Amino acid sequence: MPIKIKDLVIRLIPMARGRKRKLIIAHGDVDGVISAVIAARSLGLEDAEVYFSGPRSIDRALSKVPDGGEKLVIVDVAMNPDKVDAVESELRRLRDSGWNVLWIDHHIWPDGVVDRMSRYANVRVRPAPSAARVVLEELGGDDYERELARIADDADTATYRDERAKMYNSLTRDREKRAYLIEALMEGRMEDEKVIKWAREKLRDQEKKVEEGLRRVRVLETAGGRKFALIDLRPRGGPGSLISKRLSGEVDFSLVLYSCSKFSLYAGKDRSIDLRPICEEHGGGGHPYACGGKIEMNLLNRILCLLLGHRYFPRELRNLVEEVRARL
């Protein structure tokens, strides 16, 4: 399929003169990639272009889509509370200019937001192990799409019993390899030779980074008596979800500091825990058992944080840790 793969829209998306445009905007993880593949194959969007965005940037991505297109499909992109008004405005503009927008997701959206967005788009949101599962159930598919959905379920619940979920996950962090992966899956090559080769190399490197990260883990306790792992990967990030999974049998949840501006929370032993409210109050969102948020930091502390990484623990990070301890 002549699918063109793009990354997060950072400039106006060009539209060929006289040609209606077909676009897919997907989250950049395994579930997003597979959701885009199932949607494209099921809807016959052979000439669609695929862009990657996420809940923190979907309003900016939509703002770059020009007027007058044809079909826009958004998959596996959640709605963060602080983005609702901006996204609603963009969806209204796109609808009025001729776009037919379909939005499929499996995250929990803020109350009333599905109804608001349904005025301008065909919004299909309901809980499921993965967005790919909802895409499959809504749009249909054959045995190939059903197998892809099983892989997405495995990856997005962080179960990783399927080796293909691990392989695909290792490639989604590399723009070029992610582009190749989605093209291979579009064409029915679920176990493509290049994908396997690249993934094995990535997984070996990933395992080294997991071991390095584990050496810096601190185990703390909340006011409610829960044990949690503080995983500090600043300033360059790392496989935080994999490190937290490695610790999931030992702690109730993990707090991962990916950078000086981004953190995530992952459930461990306690799968009943709802981590999402903290993430939402920090400009993020996600699942109750896995979510992310933003870290607001003054300029001086941000510079020191970038220079010194985990050796420097500024007031803003101390406050975040104390908030987690007090609320969970």
Examine the pLDDT at 10 and tell me if it is beyond 80: no
Confidence check: pLDDT of 17 > 80:
no
Over range 303-310, report the average pLDDT: 93
Residue 18 vs residues 68, 72, 145, 194: alpha-carbon distances, Å: 10, 17, 33, 37
Query: Of 32, 25, 3, 41, whose CA–CA distance to 141 is shortest?
Result: 41
Give me the domains of the chain, ranges plus CATH numbers. 4-202 (3.90.1640), 216-327 (3.10.310)
CB 26 within 8 A of CB 75: yes
Percent of the chain with pLDDT over 90: 80
Residue 268 vs residue 18, higher pLDDT: 268
- Amino acid identity for residue 1 in this structure: M
Closest CA to 281 of 240, 327, 250: 327
Pick from 252, 266, 198: which is nearest to 224 by CA?
Answer: 252
SS3 labels along 139-171: HCCCHHHHHHHHHHHHHHCCCCCCHHHHHHHHH
Q: What percent of the chain has pLDDT over 70?
A: 94
b/e map 168-186, b = 16+ CB within 10 Å:
bbbbbeeeebbbbbbbbbb
Over range 216-220, report the average pLDDT.
95
The pTM (predicted TM-score) of the whole model is 0.85
Compute the distance between CA of residue 301 and CA of residue 299 in angstroms, rounded to an integer. Answer: 6
Burial class (CB within 10 angstroms; exposed 0-12, middle 13-18, buried 19+) of 204: exposed
Mean pLDDT of 284-310: 92
Cβ atoms of 319 and 298 closer than 8 Å: no
**Mean model confidence pLDDT for the chain:** 91
Task: Say what the pLDDT of residue 283 is.
Answer: 87
